[in-house]
Structure 1
Amino acid sequence: MIRTLLGRVTMYRILTLVLLVLAAVAFVLTATSRLDPSIFSLRGLLLTLVVLVVTSVVADHVFGLLVRRRPHTESAVITALLLWFLYWPTMELGTLAWLALTAVAAQASKYVLVWRARHVFNPAAAGVVLMILLGELLGDRVDNPPPSTTWWAANESMTFFVLAGALVVLYRTGRFALAVTFAVPAALLTYWGVEAFSDTGAAIEYVVYSTPIVFFAAFMLTEPLTLAPRRAQQLVLAVLAAAVFAWPLWNARVLDESIPLGPFEGTYELALVVTNAIAFLLGQRGGVRLRLRETRDLGGDVREFRFEPRRRVRMRAGQYLELQVPHAADIRGVRRVFTVASSPDADTVDIAIRVPEDCSSFKRAIADLQPGDQLHATGVRGDFLWPRGSAPVLLVAGGIGVTPFLSQLRHEPGRDAVLVYGVPSGATIAYRDELAEAGVPVVLVSPDAPPDLPDGWTHVAAEHVTGELVREAVPDSGDRRAFVSGPPAMVSPVATDLRKHRIRTKTDHFTGY
């Protein structure tokens, strides 16, 4: 229920709301003197926040105009809020000028430090690192050097609130494993470094209250466009990020003396930039230009869009891409994630979309596309992949959640697979002919029976697909690897039921940025 509710809101909006709540908490804690009054004041907090937000939004729009790309205001606001939590609040004009320049640098990184229209680095981290390098370059030639980051979101008074906000974000993104893989070694390395000159209790308090491990993991590390494309790669880079994150505290115990990493006294931002760069090298390395070849109706309100990529798309069957459609955007922005229905070997990139009468502005915009129109997509990602080898698989799809399975069946036509396919009506079955051609057994779940069934298909009269229905319809389900794809309201309960019966299950999960 919670995942379904959160799934209706874009991740940009979730992040904005959570960060705004944390900002409100900071104002309340400042007003009640729970945050150090010698550092925090309501006027300083507000002025710093206004400078960062205004500068970030204006810079985003200016750079967007210069390079003829639509700016993303909400993304600019998120970057400003993140930067706000990284620097002490201030009333000093010189320091505010540096912070404004940091916000400009952060936005510039989205338009300059790019490869084929995809930004490489987390904007907030990139802005901070650029200012550190600029400060090093200027040296003593400026009386007022750029301020150092403090990551003040990590403090005892805000610990519970940051943790609660992090749980919301991680639950929505499904990236608990990534966060934990970073947080555990980061905490252990930090504790090990601090414990060398402190007692156990003080070292633990330092790790819990004074290091931004949770904030970093939930709000910075999980930024989707800068992650490696595969889950295993992401986890390895999370460990590397932890090592760089805690470098100043633990390297002296290994090397007998502390060795700085260039001008970086603190290495939190550097950890992001380094892992972002490696993730970029592991991925598609850039966006994909797609030219619409044709569209076709698949039945009901489902339509297929077949695109020709300007260059070959590196992908595996079952992966997804993020499509950007310029239009007068609704609250969810100009991007959506879609699983690719075509085989990796095909010369087209096919996606299927439900386009109901009362649909979003995004869907109206894509429905109005004409052959020859061009769109931009980010690199292909995802781990909803069949196991290597010949292990039998159980496929459970709801509606157009069948698209990854179509790609996989086209790519591996000889695989031992059974598909349980839930549709609103037996009279309109998306990809009916293609699935029949694939030759796999299909259990069709719909309230009404279809006019005819292809050979090897069976029909179960039901409103929804359930775990119990799947197990009864596929007697050998316990011997198969299960894959579940579709709307969250179906995926979560079905996957939970199958796992309770010890069936290894993987779900198709989109973050909805």
Structure 2
Amino acid sequence: MYRLVLYSLAALALVALVLSVFGLVAPAPLELVVAFVVLLVVISAVDAAAQRLLHLPWRVESSAVTALILLFVMRPGLDVPALIGLALAGGLASISKYIIVWRGRHIFNPAAFGAAVVSIVGAFGAFEWLGTSASWWVGTPTMAIPVAVFGLFVLSRIERVRVVLVFLLIAVGAAVVRQVVEAQQLGVDLEVPAALSFAVLHSPYLFLGIFMVAEPLTSPPRRWQQFWVAALVGVLAGWPIVIGGLFTLGQERALLIGNLLALTFALRGSVRLTLERREFITPTAQELTFRARGKLRFLPGQYLELDVPHRHPDARGTRREFSIVSAPADLPTLRIAYKNGDQKHPSSYKRALAVAEPGTTLAVTGTWGDFLLPKGETPVLMLAAGIGVTPFVSQLRQLQADGVRRDIVLVYVASEASELAFREELEATGVPTVVFSRDEPTGLPAHWTWARGVRLDAAGLERAVPDIASRHTFISGPPRLIADLSPALQKAHSVTTDAFAGY
């Protein structure tokens, strides 16, 4: 994620630099270059010092991302007061990552915090000499399309498109209403299309929503909670509230208030996991068993983000998401599983995870996801491909622990019988299961059936589960499988997907 955001912001910075040469954005080329250098040097120095003090690996991507965001938010300048203001904003942003935390979790978006403090301090008479504040110069028509294009890559990766759309609709709507009301108060005619154009093209809402509101590490875990945060920030950003006649609760300050709401939803932090053992559960898949140190909360079907620091990480970074195999009832024991995958060109992350020995301590930066069983008695179809069965193991184990029985059918797809992971645990739940594999599994219990080597497709799924129209279908597997089954899935009562493409 960090690399993707970093590359997107760097591309936007290059676009802005080219536009500045032709005078199409407010800052001059030299102002942009100097401002970025100052921000990057200060933020990198503070990050390196803090992480060395705390015995943490230096995350150069995090430093660069914060510097680039502040470049688009703060007003660049070449005079000494402006450079001091930029350095102060960068330093405060970096320090907030380590000081303003709750159990290891960022409370505030670092860039928003640094920009807000410098802007508020500069609004008071004693600090008027500060030569910069939050100007959000990125909110200009010439930058709108580049921000939208590069931002779409980021949003598709972190699955926050709908969240940002909610923010944009509310922020733009509030801004249009505010302009109309203010025009009426002043006795000025204002056409709604003109107000709408101004709110979309002459405001920083696109940048704020894509690169700051959608930031995962300060977001709550559930989608409905993310919508609430986006709505609150949208209202405050679109219709800023004036405080004491000096500054408003708009833009970055609106985001900080949204961060507080997100904290009340989450109230979770970085939890340490100690690796107890690893074992192969199929010829190509491993399971890691950890003991959680700290308060870890998750719901059956959710996933965690595991941080595996290592030297010289490649472009895929040091964090990955894993569905949780164990149930909440199993805590403090926590299990994840993963497929070995490409052995010729493994990522640096996979290599680091592969050599982790029992006793190694890793960090969970959060748990997320809405891949949750519906409440009530709605019949359920669980459709898993290979290691995609992991969230279903968690859900079925929790139901078993709670003594709850539901109308559930499991369709389990594997390349061959030896690749059926967690078979004993799944058999113990008593859930009727249909296995699609090339060869016949041996010793199947009475409630398991083999599809006799038939390849799973839409027609095969309907034959295996003739009452699919009455079932809420949950499917966990590669995107290609979901696409292949779409004709049958369209007949389901409802569908929830958990697609993954490996790591």
- Name the residue aligned to 2:208: 216
CA deviation string 1:405-461 (max 9, x = no partner): 000011113221111222222223111111111111222222333344333223336
Deviation of 1:133 (Å): 4.3
Read off the aligned partner of 1:202 and give its amino acid letter: A
C-alpha deviation, 1:205, in angstroms:
2.0
Report the CA distance shift for 1:172/1:325 in structure 2 as closer, same or farther (over 3 A).
Answer: closer
Distance 1:511 1:195 in 2: 47
**1:308 maps to what in 2?**
291
Equivalent of 1:334, from 309, 318, 328? 318
Which of 97, 122, 125 is equivalent to 1:140?
A: 125
Look up the match of 1:7: none
Q: What's the TM-score once normalised by structure 1's chain length? A: 0.89
- Runs (5+) with no aligned partner, structure 1: 1-10, 252-258
Give the whole-Å Cα distance in 1 for the aligned partners of 2:359 and 2:19: 56
Deviations 1:260-318 (A, max 9, x none): 37853361111211111121122142111212222222011211111111234222111
Aligned to 2:368: 381
**Equivalent AA in structure 2 for residue 319 of structure 1:** Q
Say whether 1:441 aligns with 2:429: no
Check whether the contact 2:471–2:493 (CA below 8 A) recurs between aligned residues: yes
RMSD: 2.4
Distance 2:264 2:362 in 1: 23
Partner of 2:278: helix, strand, or coil?
Answer: strand
Q: 1:468: how far off? A: 4.2
Structure 2 counterpart of 1:320: 303
Q: Are residues 1:181 and 2:166 paired?
A: yes
* Structure 2 residue identity aligned to 1:281: T
Q: Which amino acid aligns with 1:404?
A: P
Superposed counterparts of 1:491-502, under 5 Å: 491=482, 493-494=483-484, 496-501=486-491
Name the SS of the counterpart of 1:34 in structure 2: coil
CA contact (8 A) 1:427 1:451 kept: no
Match of 1:270 in 2: 253
1:484–1:508 CA contact under 8 A, matched in 2: yes
Deviates more, 1:358-367 or 1:148-157: 358-367
1:291 matched to 2:271? The reply is: no
**Aligned residue runs from structure 1 range 109-258, under 5 A:** 109-135=96-122, 139-142=124-127, 144-145=129-130, 147-196=132-181, 197=183, 198-248=190-240
SS at match of 2:298: coil
- Whole-Å separation in 2 of the counterparts to 1:16 and 1:56: 15
Higher relative contact order (CA 8 A, sep 6+): 1
Closer/same/farther in 2, CA of residues 182 and 499 from structure 1, 3 Å limit: farther
Deviation sequence 1:356-379 (CA, Å, 0-9, x none): 544333223223233332221123
Cα distance in 2 between the residues matched to 1:93 and 1:310: 47
Q: Structure 1 residues 59, 462: CA separation in 2 closer, same or farther (over 3 Å shift)?
A: farther
Say yes or no: does 1:458 pair with 2:449.
yes
TM-score in terms of structure 2 length: 0.90
Question: 1:458-498: CA deviations, max 9, x gaps?
Answer: 3336697544432332111111001111233334x157445
**Deviation for aligned residue 1:30:** 2.0
Give the deviation of 1:502 after TM superposition. 5.2
Deviation at 1:349, TM superposition (A): 0.8
Structure 2 unaligned segments of length 5 or more: list them: 184-189
Query: Sequence identity of aligned pairs in percent?
Result: 37
Paired residue for 2:473? 482
Report Cα offsets for 1:308-341 as digits up to 9, x if no partner.
1123422211111111122222322221111111
Matched residue SS, 1:90? coil
Change (3 A) 1:165 1:360: closer
Partner-residue secondary structure (3-state), 1:453: coil
Contact 2:325 2:393 in 1 (8 A): yes
1:94 pairs with 2:81: yes
Equivalents in 1 of 2:160, 2:501: separation in Å? 9
Q: Secondary structure at the match of 1:394?
A: strand
| Aligned residues of 2:473 and 2:492 also touching (Cα < 8 A) | no
Worse-superposed segment, 317-326 or 126-135: 126-135
Q: Which amino acid aligns with 2:168?
A: A
Q: Report the counterpart of residue 377 of structure 2 in structure 1.
A: 390
Instruction: Specify whether residues 447 and 311 from structure 1 end up closer, same or farther in structure 2 by C-alpha distance, changes over 3 A only.
Output: same
Q: State the distance in 1 between where 2:201 and 2:15 align.
A: 16
Q: Does 1:354 align with 2:319?
A: no
Match of 2:19 in 1: 29
CA 1:494–1:411: 2 relative to 1, 3 Å:
farther
Equivalent position amino acid for 1:507 in 2:
T
Native 8 Å contact 1:427 1:449 kept in 2: no
Residue identity matched to 2:206: V
Aligned residues: 488
Per-residue CA deviations over 1:64-102 (Å, capped at 9, x if unaligned) read: 112211121112211111111112332223212211221
Of residues 139-148 and 183-192 in structure 1, the stretch that sits farther from structure 2 once superposed is: 139-148
Alignment check: 8 A CA contact 2:76 2:132 kept: no
